[in-house]
């Protein structure tokens, strides 16, 4: 990999973020995310009835809502470029494949971070009601960010191999649904322990669970970092194929 030009990455990311800010779909996704997470906590999880100063039920809903939110953020990134015919022009510009992939990733991830930041009023408004552990909540937010990074990189990869936004969204949602919740199969059917461990290993939700409990496990931290880099690497290979095919 050649030396990365941060100015090029920033310029591309800024362009993508500006495009997201003027898109009504972005605000629709943000509204859905905030409403879903709030309803999940106060209605489905009956937060006040639990009478416990913990937000684990709140963060347990993040993997579920990410299944729809992240494909909604990433579906346009590459698929729209390909549909409009601007992908070929982008590939001829003085950008390396890594600079293109990182520029798109930084923009999509910045949008996701903004959505996560918008949830901060929920714990802040609940702090006066109980003795919440700030360290645990920090760990839960860290897990949500790492989970989002890995899922965003995967969403961009799927967008790069899709012909249009609809295909990118459906493919992203289906894939995230599978790798988010595949570890739940062991609770619904009898499967060999070897298969169960494999399902746990590839499940994003399984590696998020320790963070949701307020535990910082280095193995889960490395898993999210490695999968994020892996999905971005695969994205660059797809771009390289498009460039020389």
Ramachandran class of 109: left when φ > 0, alpha when ψ lies in -120 to 50, beta otherwise: alpha
Which of 88-97, 112-121, 228-237 comes out lowest in average pLDDT? 88-97
Give the up-direction half-sphere exposure of residue 124: CA atoms within 13 A in the CB hemisphere.
5
Is residue 48 pLDDT above 90, yes or no?
Answer: no
Which of 76-90, 121-135, 191-205 comes out lowest in average pLDDT? 76-90
How far is residue 170's CA from residue 118's CA, in Å, rounded to a whole number? 26
Mean pLDDT confidence for 183-198: 82
CB 132 within 8 A of CB 126: yes
Query: What is residue 143's predicted lDDT score, i.e. its pLDDT?
Result: 96
The DSSP element (H or E) to which 87 belongs, if any, is: helix 86-92
Query: Which tokens in the block code for residue 120?
Result: 């901060």
How far is residue 123's CA from residue 54's CA, in Å, rounded to a whole number? 10
Write down the domain spans for the chain: 6-244
| Tens-digit pLDDT profile for residues 205-222 | 999 999 998 888 999 999
How far is residue 154's CA from residue 159's CA, in Å, rounded to a whole number? 9
CB 192 within 8 A of CB 116: no
Spatial CB neighbours of 133, under 8 Å, sequence gap ≥ 6: 53, 54, 214
Query: What is residue 127's predicted lDDT score, i.e. its pLDDT?
Result: 92
Which has more pLDDT, 240 or 189?
Answer: 240
Give the confidence band of 245 by pLDDT, cuts at 50, 70, 90: low
Percent over 70 (pLDDT), the chain: 99
């Amino acid at each position: 990999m050649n030396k990365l030009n941060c100015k090029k990455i920033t310029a591309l990311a800024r362009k993508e973020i500006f495009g997201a800010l003027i898109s009504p779909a972005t605000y629709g996704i943000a509204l859905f995310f905030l409403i879903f997470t709030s309803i999940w906590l106060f209605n489905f999880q009956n937060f006040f009835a639990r009478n416990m100063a913990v937000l684990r039920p709140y963060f347990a809903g993040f993997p579920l809502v990410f299944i729809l939110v992240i494909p909604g953020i990433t579906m346009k990134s590459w698929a729209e470029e390909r549909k409009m015919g601007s992908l070929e022009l982008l590939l001829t510009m003085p950008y390396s494949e890594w600079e293109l992939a990182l520029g798109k990733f930084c923009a999509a991830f910045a949008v996701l971070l903004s959505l996560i930041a918008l949830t901060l009023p929920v714990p802040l408004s609940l702090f006066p009601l109980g003795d919440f552990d700030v360290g645990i909540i920090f760990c839960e937010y860290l897990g949500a960010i790492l989970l989002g990074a890995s899922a965003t990189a995967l969403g961009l990869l799927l967008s790069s191999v899709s012909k249009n936004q609809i295909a990118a969204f459906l493919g992203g949602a289906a894939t995230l649904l599978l790798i988010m919740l595949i570890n739940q199969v062991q609770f619904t059917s009898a499967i060999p322990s070897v298969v169960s461990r494999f399902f746990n290993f590839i499940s994003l939700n399984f590696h998020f669970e320790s963070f949701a409990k307020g535990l910082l496990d280095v193995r889960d931290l490395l898993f999210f970092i490695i999968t994020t880099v892996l999905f971005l690497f695969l994205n660059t290979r797809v771009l390289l194929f498009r460039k020389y095919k």
